[in-house]
Structure formats: structure tokens, C-alpha cells
Structure 1
């Protein structure tokens, strides 16, 4: 019987490529030196796994959020303007170029992207579920019926996640920028979207506020000291 440590590197790499999630890759590499050697011999394994996790249309947004978080936070107004406007221009005008950065990113940054997408995914499903629950409640009052199961189509799922990524990008870019930036926020960011997509961003903002209030109330009700 052939041991797994005796399999060619190409076969081990193919096995690693079929992992369901990027979080499974580091434990696999730590489990066996042969796995790690096979991983080093085959380029692009982590990027391929992440591309399966994040839909192609969302990948430029995921990279943009990551790149925005890596930009220096201490800057002059002109530096701020050039850095962030350049990133927005690339996201909206040349998204494929952002997605092409993925293979050269180190593993720790890919794992950060993966964790962020997990949160985005969870929020998208929760938001859709809450919206459906609200529709169901109103339907029951009027004597109609509504399904209690969320089954988002690919386009619906994309719109939910895209709105969440845009909110994350907005706060990453503008949360602690120079005060003068607030005057131009709409010009740089919101004017790039049609009105209905800005409405989606507003809905996400309200949803996140609701989640924050719920979490804060839970902390207060259980008499937990903030930050202690």
C-alpha cells in the first residue's frame, strides 16, 4: 500500500486545491512536511481556494477592502485624495486589475480576506432572513402566506454581499480620514452608484446599526462591564 507521504507532489497539490475553505489549508500544511513541500512546489493553491469562496464579481471588492486597510492612516489631504481615489478608480473602472493582485498576496492577507468574506456572507444571509421574516409577518396579518426559508438567487446574493462590501470599504476609507474629506465623500464614493444602489448601502447601514444595538443591549442586560 502506498502511503500518502509517498504520493507525487502534483497529486498532493491537487488534493489541497480541492479543500472547501482556506481555513483548512494551514492545518493541512502543518500536518505533514510532504504536504508543505508540495504546496511550495505548486503556486496558486491558496488563491484558487479563495477564488472558489468569493464570487468573481465580489473579488475586486474584497481586494479593494484589503488594500484600503493597508494604506497609511497618517497622511496629508492630498495624499489621502490620491491614494483612495486611485483605489476607487481601479475598483470601478478596472476591477479585473484588482482581482489579478490575488495570486501575489501572502497567505496571511488571503486569510484576512477569507475571514472578512465569511462575515459578509453571514451578514447577507441574516439580513435576507430578517427581511423575509418581516414580509412573512406582514403577510400573515393580511391573510396571505410567505415562505419562511431564504433561498437567494445568485444575483440576489451578489447584491446583498456587494452592498455589505461597499459599506465596509466606505468605513475603511473614510472613518478616520482628514475632516475636509467629509465634504467630498459623496463625490468620490456615492456618485459612482445609481440611486437604488446607494439605497442598498443605506439599508445595510440601518441593519448594522440594529445589530449593534442588539449586541449592546445584550451586554447591558447581562451586566457585563464594557471593555473589562
Structure 2
């Protein structure tokens, strides 16, 4: 009896070099992981060039200027839970080595590390789109018939702020009062005031999204009285993946997909308190009273050297007559944070003419 042999698939007959080119052209790391696990045809060529292929795909998915922030967030997620004293030391060490020294990123990435970064990036990218769609339709922007699109630099800026949110969440997820009181030294001092105000914009965006899921409609008065509630702050503590699941996965039921044992009413002020501590209580003069040298000292060098002046100029415009003890997360600037004022390019700010008149706090 003649034995029948199955014909090899066209993929199996491809040269190894061509298979590697196909893998390198995949749009994201999760697709790469799926491909190599689906068939030996992909797995075998991948193994001998995995670092090069993985690194290429990762940098296609995540911009190189955002990657340091992504790595920080993933690294912070791996900090161990321990008692207060040890936790404080862990956070100090992380702040010194990862934030202060800005360790050089590797030139190549193992698949496991790239997958961890790529999984988080899915939520970062999704929330970046939602943030832009929500804020770019708020006054002073004109209502648009279709969703306005951020520029690439604006989108990357939002990505960095979202990664910063996730990093903070992991560093201070079990923060006792001692950690919070020291948060200026541990975390916020490594960022400029306008970068910390960007994080404040993200905080307010998430707080409003949580409240919308809870009560359907949020007036300014309701937002003002509930933003620091234990319920809202405990929900923000869930992080990007948890917030996505809680807000969007089960419409109308914010509590359906929470982790087991989650206590949403325990005393907690999380990022709200942290942003208050981002200010220096010893600065008793206003921004416009400071010399250029003093301004540079208290605004601080940004963690990311933004090539666009929009965020810095917007922040200076908003805080020109404010004392240094109120340079971040000021209540009178909440209306500005609603449209994400420190996250846009200078051309967009000039286009709406918002910087032409002095800011009038409410």
C-alpha cells in the first residue's frame, strides 16, 4: 500500500531569513508571541534571532522616547510588598536608581520582558485615545463633528503621563503616611512641575470616569466634593488594567470585576494626597516674582526633554501669579485640567489663543 505524505505548507518551504522578516514586520509583541507559539515554522527561525526580532517589534509598537517610562512602570510593578520600614527603603532605592540615575535601557529585549511591557501598553494606548477624545472636545476647544486627533508628540506625552500614573500606583499602593509625607523627595522631585501637573490631569480624568460610571452624570459640585472620597481613590488604586475592567468591561456595574477582597471604602487618598505633597510648602513667593534662575530651580528639569514648549508655557501661564506652595494640583486650575492644558503642543494652544490673556482663577 502506498503511503500518503502530506505536502508541506507554503510557509514551511520559506527560507529562514524570510520567516524572520515576516516576524519582524508584525505590529506588536503580543502578535509575535502568538505567532511563534502557533507553529514550529515560526518558532524555530525565531529562537536563533529572538532578541533582535523581539526588540525590533517592540520598538515598532512603542516609541523609543516613551520606552523609559514603560520600563519604569513594569519595574515598579515587581516591587515586593513588605512592612512599612522595608517598603520605604524599597521606594527610596527605586527612586534613586531608576528615576534619579535614569539607567540606560538595554539595546535588545528578551521576549518575556517585552511581553510584560506590551501588555501594559495596550491599556496605556487605549486610555490615551479616550483621554484625547474627552479633553479635546472640552472648552476652550471647539466641539468637533468627529473625534479630534492629537499629534504624535501629544499622543506620546499622554502615554508618558499614563505610565507615570502606573509607576506611582505601584510605588505607593500600600503607602503609609510616612511614605506619603516623603513623596516629594521619593517621586515628584524627579519630574518638573508641569510633568506633575500632567499627572494631575490624568488623576482628574480617571476620577471623573469613575464617577460617571457610578452615578451617570457628574456636576462640577459633585466632582469637587467626591474626588477625594475613599471610594474614588481606592478605585484609582486599581491601576490601568483594573480601571479598564471596572469601567468598561461590565457597563453599568463598576464593581462586577473587582479583585477578590477589594475594600473600596477603607480610608485612602492615594494620588490625591500625593499630588498635594508634590508642592514645596516652603516657597512663599509667586512665580512672576522669581528670577529666571529661581524659576528654573523650582520648576525643575523635566524627566523627558520635551522638544515642544507648549506644556511649560501653558503651566507658566496658569501659575504665573501663584505661590510656589501651590504649583501643582491647585483647585483653582481644575477647569484647566479638564481639557488637559499641559499636554498639548504650542501650535494648538496658539490656535485657540488661550495664552494671549492672563489666566483668571475661579
If the length of structure 1 is used for normalisation, what is the TM-score? 0.81
Unpaired segments ≥5 residues, structure 2: 1-7, 217-246, 259-362
How does 1:78-97 map onto structure 2 within 5 Å? 79-95=86-102, 97=104
In terms of fraction of residues, the more helix-rich structure is 1
Aligned residues: 218
Higher relative contact order, chain-length normalized (CA < 8 Å, sep 6+): 1
How does 1:107-122 map onto structure 2 within 5 Å? 107=112, 109-122=113-126
Give the secondary-structure state (helix, strand or coil) at the position aligned to 1:134: coil
Q: Which residue of 2 is the match for residue 129 of structure 1?
A: 133
1:163/1:204 contact within 8 Å kept: yes
Distance apart, 1:189 and its partner CA: 1.2
Partners in 2 of 1:95 and 1:148 — Cα distance?
40
Partners in 1 of 2:254 and 2:203 — Cα distance?
26
Q: Which residue of 2 is the match for residue 62 of structure 1?
A: 70
Deviations 1:2-57 (A, max 9, x none): 93212232221121011011221233123321211111111312232112111111
Q: 1:213 to 1:14 in 2, by over 3 A?
A: same
Q: 1:225 to 1:90 in 2, by over 3 A?
A: closer
Matched, 1:3 2:1: no
Q: Which moved more, 1:65-74 or 1:4-13?
A: 4-13
If the length of structure 2 is used for normalisation, what is the TM-score? 0.53
Q: Which residue of 2 is the match for residue 162 of structure 1?
A: 160
Partners in 2 of 1:85 and 1:114 — Cα distance?
27
Q: Which residue of 2 is the match for residue 195 of structure 1?
A: 193
Q: 1:10 to 1:184 in 2, by over 3 A?
A: same
Matched, 1:103 2:109: yes
Partners in 2 of 1:223 and 1:18 — Cα distance?
39
Unpaired segments ≥5 residues, structure 1: 141-145
Q: Which residue of 1 is the match for residue 239 of structure 2?
A: none
Deviations 1:88-130 (A, max 9, x none): 3344444452x218614x52x4223112111111111111111
2:73/2:167 contact within 8 Å kept: yes
Q: 1:2 to 1:111 in 2, by over 3 A?
A: closer
Matched, 1:43 2:43: no
Partners in 1 of 2:66 and 2:44 — Cα distance?
31
Distance apart, 1:70 and its partner CA: 1.0
CA-based RMSD of the aligned residues comes to: 3.0
Partners in 1 of 2:253 and 2:88 — Cα distance?
44
Max Rg structure: 2
